[in-house]
Structure formats: C-alpha cells, structure tokens
A = this chain, B = another copy of it.
Amino acid sequence: MEIALKPFANLTIPEKEALRKSLREDFDRVCEKKLKLNMARGKPGKEQLDLVSGILTVLTDPKDCVSDGLDVRNYGNLSGLPEAKKLFAEILDCKPEQCFIGGSASLQLMYDLIAKAYTHGLQHSARPWSKEPVVKWLCPAPGYDRHFGISKSFGMELIPVSMTAEGPDMDLVEELVKDPAVKGIWCVPKYSNPQGIVYSQKTIARFAALRPAAPDFALMWDNAYCIHEVFGEYLPFPDILRLCAEAGNADMVYEFASTSKVTFPGAGISVMATSEANQSYLQSLITYQVISYDKVNQLRHVRYLKDKAHTIELMAKHAEILRPKFACVLDTLEKEIKPLGLASWESPKGGYFVSVNTLPGLAKRTLELCAQAGVTMTAAGATYPYGKDPADSNIRIAPSYPGLEELQQAIEIFCLCLKLAALEQEG
C-alpha cells in the first residue's frame, strides 16, 4: 500500500481507483470476521479493576467500621466522613470543610447541583432557574458528552466555546459571561475530555478572576482526571477554590472528582468541593434528599487508598496498564494516518482519551464504516453541544477498555475506515 503514503489529492485517477479497490477488499475481509470491538467509553479494563481487589476486604468486621469514633454502618453525617473529606482535600489541595462526599458518581453531584439551581436556585440566585426565561451555558468543545447531556436535559441554550492548547478560548469566555443569562460553564481542567489538554496557569487565573454578570454563575470544575497521569510523573495542579477566593469569587466554583477510575467505576466515592458558604447553603437543601451517602464505602476507600501519596502510587500502576494502550493508538495513527494528512490529534499525557480531528466532513462516515466493521466508537458529534460538530471532524477514541490485541485490531480498522471515508469524499 505504498501509494497511500501520498496525500489522496495528489493521486491520479487510476491510482485512486486502485487504492479504493484495495482498501475496500481489506474492509470487506474485516466485515466478514463479524468482530465486536469497542473503543466507545472511558471504561477501565479488567486488569485495572483487578489491581484494586484489596478494597473488597479492607472492612471485614464490625470493629473495622469505626471512623473517628463514629459507627459508619448507621445513619448520619450528611456531608460524609471527616476522613473521606481529608483524603479528597489532600488530593485536590483544598480544605476538608470545603468537601461534600457523595455516592458512587460525581456525575450525580453535578446533575443534582444543576437540578437544585433549577428548583431552588444557588446561593446567590435571584430566583430558581426554572423561573428564568432562558438559561445559557458555555460548553468548551470538543468536550464531555455527559456534561452537555445534563445541560440539554434541563433545556439550557448551549453555547460552544472553542478549545485552544491552553484550555477554553478565554477571550470568548470573558465576552460571553457579560450576558446575565449565561449561568455557567463546564470545565475538565486537567487532561480535558476528550483532548487531554491541561489548562494553562494563565487560563486558570483568568477563570478565577472571571467577572460574570450572573451573580450565580457556576464554574463547574470537573477535575475527573486530577491524578490520572498516563505518561510521566504526577503533575501538581492549582487549587481552584483558593484562586477563586483570592480573586473575590469564593462562591463561583464547584469542583468535582471521584474514585471511579481509581477503584471501581460506578462503585467508588465522589466529592463536590466548594466554599463553606456554598456548602452550608447546599447542605440545607440536600438534607431533604439524603441522610448521608454510603459511609461504609467511604471508609473502605479511606482505608484502602490511605492518603494522596499512596493513591498516586496506585495511579502509577493504572498508568502502567494504560500506557501501552495509548501508545498502540498513537503509534498506529502516526504510522497509518499522519503521512496522509487525513487527521490531526493531541498526544495526551493523561486522562482517558485520544481526540482525533479528521479533515472536515469525515467523522460521521468514518464511524459508520467502523460500525459496519464491528468497531463501536463514541458517536460522531457527541463531543459537541447538541451532538453537532460543525466540521464533522472530531472523533473520541477510548483506548482503556479493550485488551491490547483487540485494541490494535480496532485502531487499524479505524484507520482503514478513515482512509476509505477520505477516498469516498475525493469522489
């Protein structure tokens, strides 16, 4: 297939025909295999889950179930175990009293915060958002489909904000927040979903100093990958709560994290970190919703993870498993796609994704072909508000779940499908 090393536009018509035929034959052979490969979701693989089996036996006896003198098996402690707050505060570099410990999903804490903004309003809201004629929301894109899903589910008007190598386009953000109907923004500041971009110090400082017209503007700081390095050492990251407070914006930010990709996805613990004034306001609402989240599981996590240093050691073991998978995807793209100039991508140092931007108009068709060939991917457009990628270009690849052999097969099929889509577009 050496002819493929030339960009397609420079091929002669017979060369294109020959290439199309050859790729189509490869494609048909793949389809016949009726494969079932999946690079759709950021799910840890079995090997990662097996890493943390010790958490299953960390509490085995009633006497293990005591934390700071409290029997964690009984009702009480709405905001969570002090020990769990201490662990998350150390990881996020904030204060324990700024932490509310949730259940097995930080997604739920984010959703519930927005839901309470609609039904009751946030601390500085003039009225519940359900009484506002329109609520607008900033969506750095490409971004996390489940974030956009929450906003869409509440009927917000989603405003895309483009991403730069330093994070969201802050000139645009600063301009857009002058509209008092703009009530918030979704951010994944470290190893952004899907690009793996780490917000620069400057971007973070501009966020902290934001002057939104809405008094109840919510900076939703989803620090999902706060300790999720894949290549290299743990990267320290600033405490956004402190930075916001220093800039006079103490109540603007809500930070989220969880152990979903540290221990068990959907069976871990989560945190919402925000100012003590916000905690006090929100807990006065949450007290009607829960008596407390699962404190037995909170204690399991505290005993198992111990502290930040020990948790980072565990994350290094996750990284050892993830590194060859990321390398497999990146190397194959480098080899198969780069010479053709059909797409560009970031080389993330952490997080769970590789974000590929194809030439305009190729994403949907590429993923259609992938589906035919038995490779499931996150839907094209999913990384954009309303599922609409204006350039039909962004594709999110999740390398974590499949085994290495399956992954190699899947990414090769992806490259094949991208080439086919590009040739089809050439006409």
**Copies of this protein in the complex:** 2
Q: Is A44 an interface residue (CB 8 A)?
A: yes
Tell me, in angstroms, the Cα distance from A44 to B76 when the chains sit together. Answer: 12
CB-CB under 8 A from A115, the residues of chain B are 115, 119, 289
Tell me, in angstroms, the Cα distance from A137 to B44 when the chains sit together. Answer: 45
Chain B binder among A146-154, A247-255, A330-338? A146-154
A56 touches B50 (CB 8 A): no
Interface size class of A (residues with CB under 8 A): 35 or more
Contact for A62 among B49, B60, B294, B296, CB less than 8 A:
B49
Q: Is A10 an interface residue (CB 8 A)?
A: no
A53 touches B44 (CB 8 A): no
Contact for A290 among B74, B108, B128, CB less than 8 A:
B108
Tell me, in angstroms, the Cα distance from A60 to B300 when the chains sit together. Answer: 13
CB nearest neighbor in B for A265: B75
Known contacts A103-B103, A267-B294, A288-B153; A46/B72 CB under 8 A: no
Contact for A130 among B130, B265, B288, CB less than 8 A:
B130
A281 to chain B, nearest CB (A): 13
Tell me, in angstroms, the Cα distance from A88 to B41 when the chains sit together. Answer: 30
CB-CB under 8 A from A195, the residues of chain B are none
CB-CB under 8 A from A49, the residues of chain B are 62, 71, 73-74
CB nearest neighbor in B for A292: B266
A12 to chain B, nearest CB (A): 48
A107 touches B291 (CB 8 A): yes
Q: Is A61 an interface residue (CB 8 A)?
A: yes
**Digit string of A312-345 for contact with B (CB within 8 Å is 1, else 0)?**
0000000000000000000000000000000000
A115 to chain B, nearest CB (A): 5
A153 touches B285 (CB 8 A): yes
Tell me, in angstroms, the Cα distance from A112 to B119 when the chains sit together. Answer: 11
CB-CB under 8 A from A150, the residues of chain B are 288-289
A288 touches B111 (CB 8 A): yes
A157-192 interface with B by 8 A CB criterion: none
Q: Is A264 an interface residue (CB 8 A)?
A: yes
Q: Is A131 an interface residue (CB 8 A)?
A: yes
CB-CB under 8 A from A425, the residues of chain B are none
CB-CB under 8 A from A154, the residues of chain B are 119
Tell me, in angstroms, the Cα distance from A60 to B53 when the chains sit together. Answer: 7
A73 touches B267 (CB 8 A): yes
Tell me, in angstroms, the Cα distance from A149 to B287 when the chains sit together. Answer: 9
Contact for A118 among B50, B74, B130, CB less than 8 A:
B130
Known: A56-B65, A264-B296. 11 other contacts (CB 8 A): A56-B61, A57-B60, A73-B264, A73-B267, A105-B291, A107-B290, A107-B291, A111-B290, A120-B153, A153-B285, A297-B297
Can you sample 22 A-B contacts with CB below 8 Å? A41-B75, A43-B74, A46-B62, A53-B61, A74-B264, A74-B266, A104-B294, A105-B291, A111-B289, A111-B290, A112-B289, A115-B115, A115-B289, A119-B119, A119-B154, A130-B130, A149-B287, A150-B288, A150-B289, A153-B288, A266-B294, A267-B297
